[in-house]
Structure 1
Amino acid sequence: MKTDATPLLEADNLAVQIGERWICCDLSMRLMPGERLVLLGPNGAGKTTLLHALAGLREVQRGEVRLQGRALAEWPGRELAQVRGVQPQSQPDWFAATVMETALVGRHPHLGRWAWESGDDVRIAHEALICMGLDHMGERNILTLSGGERQRLAIASLLAQQPDLYLLDEPLSHLDLHYQVAVLAHFSALAQGGAGVVMVLHDLNLAARFADHVVLLDGSGKMVCGTADEVLQADVLSAAFGHPLRRHVIEGQVAFLLE
Structure 2
Amino acid sequence: MTAPRPIIRCDLNESAYQPLPAVAEAIATTAATANRYPEFRPETARAAIAAHLGVDASGVVVGPGGTAVVSALLSDAAARHRAAGRDTPHLSTPAPTFDGFAILASMLGYRVDATRLLDDGAPDLDALVASVTPSTAALIVCSPHNPTGAVLTEARLRALLLSVRADLPVILDEAYVEYCERPPDSRALVAEFPNLTVLRTFSKAYGLAGVRIGYAFGTPAAVAGARRREIPFAVSTAAQQAVPVALRAQTQLAERVAACCAAQA
Q: What TM-score does the superposition give when structure 2 sets the normalisation length?
A: 0.37
Task: Please state which structure has a larger fraction of its residues in helix.
Answer: 2
Which structure has the higher relative contact order (CA within 8 Å, separation 6+)? 2
Task: Please state which structure has a larger fraction of its residues in strand.
Answer: 1
